[in-house]
Structure 1
Amino acid sequence: MHQRIIPDNVAAPAGAYSHGISTHGPGTCLHVAGQIGMTPQGRLLEGFEAQADQAWKNLVAVLQAAGMDASHLVKVTTYLTRAADLPRLNAIRSVYLGSARPASTLVVVAALAHPDWCFEVEATAFRQD
């Protein structure tokens, strides 16, 4: 079970996230490594939107392999190499999150591990047993 934590004495979330997520009871915790815009065939897609969409598809595939979906996400960390891509990210992210509102952090970095990568997303999910 997840409980969204949005205290009255903290400004409301500025987007589709919660300030905190509390998990209760016995369950399974899944830590998803950073996912990038690479297809299952090992091809890196070109452009921000294609990479972000594929990275989210990859994250969802990892969730599904563990018997979970976006509703089980408790924390998402997103890395961008260009702040200007943020408006396009929100549209892509909403497709995969639906009504889920995990705790979230967005970081704009100078570069990722490979110079052709412009997007990476990692997450933590919890499923109550």
Structure 2
Amino acid sequence: MSSANLRHNPATMAAPTNNLYSHGVEVPAGSRRLYVAGQVGTRPDGTIAGDLDGQVEQIMTNIEAILADAGMDLGDVVKLNAYCLKSEDIMTYAALRNRYFKGAPPATTAVVVAGLALPEWLIEVDAVAEKTD
């Protein structure tokens, strides 16, 4: 996350679980904002990994590519939303996600949904990134 962004984790409430996310992220005025559409585990050749780990790895690769195209990186991500098909997949996703976010993690939401657009998709993740130039 850009050093200009401020994390908010008030002492008057429970700390983020294992410090794996931030309760809030404040972005300074004048920042560029990038909304990343929901990403799934589709590889450049159109194939999709059959397991959650492979799909999450490809999702993070896709997000990194979109960020790079905008002159940003994972450090500029301030918000992630993950949509999982099974509640037991949330912790697996979180562990994989956290390998990519070092230091100040973004604000994060993970929910369990009844289904995604294609049956082979196990997870979908969207993001918001902010960067002060």
Same fold? TM cut 0.5? yes
Distance 1:78 1:100 in 2: 18
SS of match in other structure, 2:17: coil
| Ranges of 4+ aligned residues in structure 1 off by more than 6 Å | none
- Identify which of 24, 36, 49 aligns with 2:28: 24
Write out aligned runs for 1:25-44 (5 A): 25-44=29-48
TM-score by length of 2: 0.91
- Check if 1:122 corresponds to 2:126: yes
- Check if 1:2 corresponds to 2:20: no
Write the deviation string for residues 63-95 of structure 1: whole angstroms up to 9, x where unpaired. Answer: 111111111111100111011223321221112
Query: What stretches of structure 2 of length at least 5 have no aligned partner?
Result: none
- Identify which of 62, 68, 74 aligns with 2:72: 68
Distance 1:59 1:48 in 2: 16
SS of match in other structure, 1:112: coil
Is this contact kept in 2: 1:73–1:100, CA < 8 A?
no
Matched residue count: 129
- Check if 1:47 corresponds to 2:51: yes
Distance 2:9 2:77 in 1: 16
Post-superposition offset of 1:60: 1.1
Write out aligned runs for 1:80-91 (5 A): 80-91=84-95
Query: What stretches of structure 1 of length at least 5 have no aligned partner?
Result: none
Alignment RMSD (CA, Å) = 1.2
- Output the amino acid matched with 2:42: M
Is this contact kept in 1: 2:22–2:104, CA < 8 A?
no
- Output the amino acid matched with 1:74: V
TM-score by length of 1: 0.94
Write the deviation string for residues 37-86 of structure 1: whole angstroms up to 9, x where unpaired. Answer: 00011111211111111111111111111111111111100111011223
